[in-house]
Structure 1
Amino acid sequence: MKLALVCLAIIAHFGLRLSAYNRINSLAWPRRTIKRIVKLMFVETWLTPVIIGLIYSRSFRSLATGDFVWKELPWALRAYGILCLILGAGLFALWLLWRPLFGIEHADARRSSRMERATAEDIDRFARTPKCRWAAKIPGNQLLDLSIDSVELPVPRLPRELDGYRIAHLSDIHLTGHLHRAYTARVIERALAFRPEMFALTGDIVDAQECVSWLPELFQPATAPDGSFFILGNHDTRVSDPNDIREQMSAVGWTDVGGRCQPASLRGVDITMMGNEWPWFGRPAPAEIEAVTAKNPERALKICLSHSPDQFDWARRHDVDLLMCGHTHGGQGRLPLAGPILSPSWHGTRWASGDFYRAPTTMHVSRGLGGVHLMRIHCRPELSLLTLKAA
């Protein structure tokens, strides 16, 4: 029993640091500040149990013989162990509660996936750097395995005229220069085959300055009858001027809704379209939302593009019907049964990917298409093909 409690306290120690890591990476602090904190946390996470184990090795060795005495440890260490057990148990209970198994807050969406697994020819074609080619060949890495996910997404207040409406949702493309632009072009080709009535792109488009010039060639073909809308994400701050991305995308016909609220028309039905880039950029002010919705018919549909699913509660407060997000990459890696453990969100892995509903808002969170880290373990890149259904 004593050995089990010590082991659980050590596991909880790591779990608490992981929880802090997820939340720190959801903040809009300067990138360098976050990186420094994360590096210090990594060192502390491992050094603390190692140092404690070395100092009190004699006491801990007595666990095997059953002679271990709690009072041999200083009160501060015992208090820390108890704190880890209490907080760890609470966080584990919450983590378990939000698993898809229980279906809490999960939307009743119908999904089907078509996999395009990368071949050796795909690696040669799409991997632009030696680092990317090496990473793509690691067993289990799904970096170039595209999952085309068709989702029938229930939206309770969807006007009957929009039943069956098709949206191609792209997110987290992350043009870093490691992948050739042909990879993104292939994704857009697959999206166009869906014959979407709208394109939606929810941020993290460009990481490297050299790739800003790729945008016209890549995104000019991505057209839809009711328009193509985009916002920026936190990684778009890594170029010298994020407005260059906005200008390049706007020049080829995409509509920038970042931090804005504006009227739009889908199949001739008036709706409200908005974009939330918080906390890295702006989001629409309540007065702006009220002014735009006042011009639309009563209870007009509201659609919002948000980079982070952390804006779910904000969307609910502003009566949004459909929220499309990315940012979390589905965890970038997922464990069997347990799912993701890493997710740059204030809510941890609760909304790492999938379809969710809390009245009045339906939220779709994409795993995204790319990433700075060239590893995706049990977490394929996702092209989301959404078909809206009246719930």
Structure 2
Amino acid sequence: MTPTLAWIAALAVLAGHFGLMLSSYNRINGFGWPRKNIKRCTKVMFAFTVIGPPVAIAVWRGFFADWIGGNADLRSIPIPLAIYAGLCLMAWPLLGIPWLYFRPILGIESVKVKRQIEIVPVQQMVTHRLALTAKCKFESRLPINQVFELSIDQIELPVVGLPPALDGYRIAHLSDIHLTGDIHPDFAGYVVQRATQWAPHLMALTGDIIDKQPCIDWLGQIFAPARARDGCYFVLGNHDTRIADSWQTREAMDRAGWTDLGSRGLSRKLGGVEALIIGNEHPWFQRPTIDPDSGEPFRLLLSHSPDQFEWARRHNVTLMLAGHTHGGQGRLPIAGPLLSPSFHGSRYASGDFYRAPTTMHVTRGLAGTHLIRINCRPELSLLTLRAVPSPQPA
């Protein structure tokens, strides 16, 4: 093997190594494991991602010297190294091709929507300083960080199978509030205020409301002003398990006038149409038990994670709303997001999707425990539903 081919092979293995670790990181965060277990796994994976290659070079430095010099052949590769190098090379077709196939720019499974975007520098709209901690003050000043640049997206969303009476129905969709104490509650309060001013028929909050116990006292002032004709509904997410007793969050939201949909379905009339509004907090809480064939003309699912898309399809959900993935927290030009805590990787990191019979909207959410957003502004989704007989591909 020539030195040039040896270098190409080594770089291909190295790229496969990073791809394999990135894919594993995304998917391990889709499990409902205790937080401490996931943290341990991700720390080990991060260390292996960074330290693994130089350690391998140090252990088998003689082989690598011969390899890069073009003096080694395949039969001389140490067995552990050969096995892992094979896995890294297999990652190219097995993980790389699906990753490329579902890039946002290609629009696979995406729904074409009309979108009007208003960018609001929230710090200029409130009286208090939004950054409360030294960490937040430093990171929010970084020129690439959009953490306080709210994107208010008014979206006309085509929904296959939507009853004609619900054409024009308005849903304000919020997600991933992540009250950690780093950001002043005025940020989330402003978002709720803007959502209410839009006069939605229904308001939906899809989880990860709170991360730290003292922030429970903020829930009333943030969410009590919310108003929607057909009610305000919420589910919890994985970060809501960080509170010692999640019922404290549920009870505080109930006092604020919001309806807990956790692990159940509620029959309601929306715009004069019989509807079933469902909450799915799996895998962190119990899944609801729903009859797939009870025959409501409209089924609305609030799910923290887009990983429940297949569940929604099996249960004949018309429209599913989700968050959790933060739009990837950062998005590359053309390639889009890389990080996304989902069994699907970054496939459903944000946007609008259709797989019969379900249309799904995934919002980028409002905040996070990581306080940097790159090309990925926090999002308030204002959805106007439109009845269509068939999907509208992007």
Task: Return the TM-score normalized by structure 2.
Answer: 0.93
**Distance (Å, rounded) in 1 between the aligned partners of 2:124 and 2:73:** 58
Alignment of 1:165-176 (within 5 A): 165-176=169-180
Secondary structure in 2 matching 1:312: helix
Q: 1:336-375 alignment to 2 at 5 Å?
A: 336-375=333-372
1:388 counterpart residue number: 385
User: Which residue pairs with 2:391 in the alignment?
Assistant: none
Residues 1:252 and 1:64: Cα distance change in structure 2 (over 3 Å): closer
Q: Residue 118 of structure 1: CA displacement?
A: 5.6
Which residue does the alignment assign to 2:392?
Answer: none
Higher mean C-alpha displacement, 57-66 vs 26-35: 57-66
Residue 49 of structure 2 is aligned to residue 42 of structure 1: no
Task: Verify the 8 A CA contact 1:201 1:229 in the aligned structure 2.
Answer: yes
Q: How far apart in 2 are the matches of 1:79 and 1:225?
A: 60
Supply the distance in 2 between the matched residues of 1:379 and 1:183 (Cα, whole angstroms). Answer: 17
Alpha-carbon contact 1:230-1:257 (below 8 Å) kept:
yes
The alpha-carbon distance between structure 1 residues 246 and 157, as it changes in their structure 2 partners (threshold 3 A), is same
Is 368-377 or 101-110 further displaced after alignment? 101-110
Q: 2:94 aligns with which of 90, 97, 114?
A: 90
1:272 aligns with 2:276: yes
Question: What are the residue-to-residue correspondences of 1:229-244 with 2, within 5 Å?
Answer: 229-244=233-248
1:245 aligns with 2:249: yes
Residue 20 of structure 2 is aligned to residue 23 of structure 1 = no
**CA, structure 1 residues 139+62, in 2 after alignment: closer, same or farther (shift >3 Å)?**
farther
- Post-superposition Cα deviations, 1:322-374, rounded to whole Å, max 9, x if no partner, equal 00000011111122221111111011111011100000000000110010111
Structure 1 stretch displaced more, 24-33 or 73-82: 73-82
Does the aligned pair in 1 maintain the 2:202–2:231 contact within 8 Å? yes
Per the TM alignment, residue 124 of structure 1 is displaced from its structure 2 partner at its CA by: 6.4
Secondary structure at the aligned position of 1:126 is classed as: coil
Deviates more, 1:313-322 or 1:35-44: 35-44
Q: How does 1:1-391 map to 2 (within 5 A)?
A: 1-62=5-66, 65-117=69-121, 125-287=129-291, 293=294, 298-391=295-388
SS of residue paired to 1:94: helix
Secondary structure of 2:129's aligned partner: helix
Q: What SS does the aligned partner of 1:286 have?
A: coil
CA distance in structure 1 between the aligned counterparts of 2:299 and 2:218, rounded to whole angstroms? 32
Change (3 A) 1:123 1:69: farther
3-state SS of 1:230 partner: strand
Partners of 2:48 and 2:123 in 1: how far apart?
41
Whether the 8 Å contact between 2:280 and 2:288 is mirrored in structure 1 is yes
Contact 2:307–2:343, Cα closer than 8 Å, also in 1: yes
Question: Which amino acid is the alignment partner of residue 348 of structure 1?
Answer: G
Q: 1:247 and 1:326, CA in 2 relative to 1: closer, same or farther beyond 3 A?
A: same
Report SS of the residue matched to 1:201.
strand
Question: C-alpha offsets along residues 112-133 of structure 1, whole Å, 9 cap, x if unaligned?
Answer: 2111236689796211222211
- Tell me how far 1:300 sits from its aligned partner: 1.2
Q: 1:134 to 1:241 in 2, by over 3 A?
A: same
Question: 1:13, 1:88 within 8 Å by CA — same for their partners in 2?
Answer: no
The whole-number CA distance in structure 1 between the counterparts of 2:301 and 2:127 is 35
Distance in 2 (alpha carbons) for counterparts of 1:157 and 1:242: 35
**Between Structure 1 and Structure 2, how many residues are aligned?**
384
Once the 2 structures are TM-superposed, how far is the Cα of residue 306 of structure 1 from its aligned partner?
Answer: 0.2
Moved more, 20-29 or 357-366: 20-29
Instruction: Read off the aligned partner of 1:138 and give its amino acid letter.
Output: L
Contact 1:124 1:133 in 2 (8 A): no
In 2, are the aligned partners of 1:152 and 1:388 still within 8 Å (CA)? Answer: yes
> Using the alignment, how far apart are the partners of 2:184 and 2:66 within structure 1?
57
Partner Cα separation in structure 1 for residue 385 and residue 174 of structure 2: 16
Deviations 1:129-181 (A, max 9, x none): 22211110012011111111111111111111111111100000011111111
Offset, 1:253: 1.7
CA distance in 2, matches of 1:341, 1:384: 22
Q: Cα RMSD (Å) of the superposition?
A: 1.8
Q: TM-score by structure 1 length?
A: 0.94
Measured against aligned partners, the alpha-carbon deviations of 1:260-299 in whole angstroms (never above 9, x if no partner) come to: 1111121222211110000101221135x66xx3xxxx45
